[in-house]
Amino acid sequence: MLLQKYLRTIENINPNKIYVENVRSFFKVPNVVARLMCEMAVVDNLFVKKYGISCPNNDCRRIIASYNSLKEIPNEIQCDMCEDNEQENFTFRTSNLEIIEFYQLKKIK
């Protein structure tokens, strides 16, 4: 029964967006240990660390774009979804937005 629960959890994890919270929950470890596990996976070339910009509009809240480093993030960004939905605000200063760290499973060639 417990094994089936873990297998369902693994099936639902998006390999392109692995959050520390996913790892913490799956392995039942403290947040600091889960972060360390993710960082070790980066060092071992299993994960790629990414930075996502979250849309501040309450109706959206999705990740607008993701980057490989903080230096790549532009000063201003548009949310295409909000623009398509004719929201009043769809262009934002990135210095005012939430940056979310996540990991991607590295693609094996």
Residues 36-93 have pLDDT tens digits of 999 999 999 999 999 999 998 877 888 999 999 999 999 999 988 888 888 888 899 9
Task: Tell me whether residue 2 is in a domain.
Answer: no
User: Which tops the pLDDT comparison, 16 or 86?
Assistant: 16
8 in any annotated domain = no
Q: Is residue 23 part of a domain?
A: yes
Rounded to two decimals, the pTM is 0.79
Asked if residue 83 is part of any domain, the answer here is yes
Residue with tokens 């994960």: 47
Predicted pLDDT of residue 33: 95
Report yes or no on 11 lying in a domain. Answer: no
pLDDT at 81: 86
Range of the domain at 98: 18-105
Residue 34 has pLDDT above 60, yes or no: yes
Q: Is residue 41 part of a domain?
A: yes
The residue ranges of DSSP E strands in the chain, in sequence order, are 47-54, 63-67, 76-78, 91-93, 99-105
Record the tokens describing residue 101, joined without a space: 């760290």
Q: Which residues pair with 77 in a beta bridge?
A: 92
Find residue 52's DSSP bridge partners.
66, 100
Domains contained in the chain, number: 1
So what's the pLDDT on residue 57?
Answer: 85
Query: Is residue 10, in this structure, part of any structural domain at all?
Result: no
